[in-house]
Copies of this chain bind each other. A is one copy, B any other.
Amino acid sequence: MPPVQDLDLILDQVRSLLAHGQVEEAAATISALRPAEAADVVAALHPADGADVLEELEPQERADVVEELDPEIGAEVLIELDEDERTDVANRLDVESLSEFLDEMAPDDAADVLGDLSASKAKAALDGMDQPDEVRGLLEHDEESAGGLMIPHVVAFRQSMTVHQTIEFLRRAKPDEETSYYLFVTDDADRLIGVVSLRQLIVADPLTPLHEIMSEDVFAAEVGTDQEECARLLARYDLLALPIVDDDRKLVGVVTADDLIDVIEEEATEDIYHLANLDADEDVYDNIFRSSRRRLTWLFINLPTAVLAGWVVSRFTGTIQLVPILAAFVPIIAGQGGNAGIQTLTLIVRSLALGEITLRDSWRTLSREMAIGLVNGLIFGLCVGLLGMFWQGSPMIGVVVGGAMMLNLVGAAISGTVVPLGLRFLKVDPALASGVIVTTVTDVTGNFVLLALATLLLLTNT
């Protein structure tokens, strides 16, 4: 174990390793230190970098280092840890330290941490906090709503205050960095009526009242608004913060851009993973058995659907025995259908997520996708039909495989549209499990149409 005077040297070394993306090596360097020394090194890094290094350590070692951090820095590092690791650390910390850390966090962050703990652990940590009230209030809101994401109790400014009074107030109150790029202006009943940016405040004449310089075009969300909807508002109207109001349009909090950027990334990751039948919190650094278990669930859902598609084939073994080349067309018809279905499905899921379509557009979207499916079905039906005809020298095989391809591509368009819109209608995530359903439909339809057509046209003719 190196003597303490080498810590500066070690810090330089860790910084340089991190600059080259060698997080594992940086973690190994820190792992060789005593927890208190390791904490000194971590404290000197940006919290996001410190968290990255900590994520590479063993769970108990990680908690020991965090325990040694100043509460102020520990709070920042804790927030930057991945959810799983953060919860693990919070569970290993003794309740007193945990409460100290929570007191140093923004209330919305503290609520996030507490939301992942067991009820008894969360209660104990809350009871140990100096200022638990705001956090308690936030915990009443859905974690994925504006209310669960907001920084509560932001300062509102009365419309009659002058620019000078406002600046003096800011000088005295020194509000949090995070909440103060916009100043929100309220009327006498505390209702949100406008917004003033710090820039407007600085360039305005000191004696002007706020209502003369404020912009009345102020976008706000309600406490219960879903976080995805908040992110859409922010992105659409190029905002840096979104004020949150209650039923009476009274200002109750503000959601900041940095939190909504995280929401945008998380929701995109969730859609991507759900479309691929992965758990939303699958992580490339999870241990093998946790990952394996997560994926098994999905593969087990997929298995019976694949067996169903296989079972359809098994009903036609007589036909296959007479015309075995049909078995070669099974993956072709089903594969193209699955591909086209996933194209449609993905477009619909992403367009729903970005707010480009809503359920109101269902009919328009369905007819558009069916038309595309028909055009592509005719083209590929012709291609595969010609392939079947010339490969096997039988026009009838051409008709069978071409017809099956065409029908399957239209079916793919219909299921690719109806499944995500139906899930949204049922208020389920449109990406969730929809890939399995759509490919099941295309596999089953494809196999059935191919083999039933073949039985009808080929066997009666031979």
Contacts and interface: CB of A to CB of B under 8 A. Distances in A.
Nearest to A295: B343
A237 B320 contact: no
Interface in A426-462: 436, 439, 443, 447
A280 to B, nearest CB: 11
Nearest to A379: B296
A291 B240 contact: no
A240 B272 contact: no
Interface stretch (A8-16, A127-135, A139-147, A352-360): A352-360
Contact of A306 (B331, B360, B365): B331
Interface stretch (A31-39, A83-91, A332-340): A332-340
Interface in A368-384: 368, 371-372, 375-376, 379-380, 383-384
A168 B197 CA distance: 17
Interface residues of A, number: 110
Nearest to A262: B235
Given A235-B261, A285-B356, A357-B284, A167 B202 contact: yes
Interface in A320-337: 320-321, 324-332, 334-336
A115 interface: no
Contacts of A177: 197, 199
B284 A309 contact: no
A153 interface: no
A292 B310 CA distance: 30
A235 B265 contact: yes
Given A264-B264, A291-B372, A199 B202 contact: no
Interface string A228-269: 000000111111100000000000000001100110110011
A272 B273 contact: no
Interface stretch (A65-73, A95-103, A311-319): A311-319
A439 B335 contact: yes
A324 B325 contact: no
B272 A22 contact: no
Interface string A375-411: 1100110011001000000000000000000000000
Nearest to A368: B288
B328 A288 contact: no
A345 to B, nearest CB: 7
A331 B332 CA distance: 10
Contact of A331 (B175, B264, B275, B309): B309
A161 interface: no
A384 B304 CA distance: 10
Interface string A271-311: 11101111000111100110110011011001101110111
Given A273-B350, A360-B22, A343 B278 contact: yes
B324 A310 contact: no
Given A181-B240, A199-B175, A272-B350, A328 B306 contact: no
A375 B289 contact: yes
B181 A347 contact: no
Given A236-B48, A268-B268, A376 B295 contact: yes
25 contacts: A170-B203, A177-B197, A180-B199, A235-B261, A239-B258, A271-B272, A272-B275, A273-B346, A273-B350, A275-B276, A277-B343, A284-B348, A284-B356, A288-B372, A295-B343, A298-B343, A302-B336, A303-B380, A306-B335, A307-B387, A309-B332, A310-B328, A313-B327, A320-B324, A330-B330
Given A170-B199, A314-B328, A320-B320, 14 more contacts: A167-B202, A180-B199, A239-B258, A273-B350, A276-B347, A284-B368, A288-B368, A298-B343, A299-B380, A302-B339, A303-B336, A310-B328, A330-B331, A339-B436
Interface of A: 21-22, 46, 48, 167, 170-171, 174-175, 177, 180-181, 197-199, 201-203, 217, 234-240, 257-258, 261-262, 264-265, 268-269, 271-273, 275-278, 282-285, 288-289, 291-292, 295-296, 298-299, 302-303, 305-307, 309-311, 313-314, 317-318, 320-321, 324-332, 334-336, 339-340, 342-343, 345-351, 354, 356-358, 360, 365, 368, 371-372, 375-376, 379-380, 383-384, 387, 436, 439, 443, 447
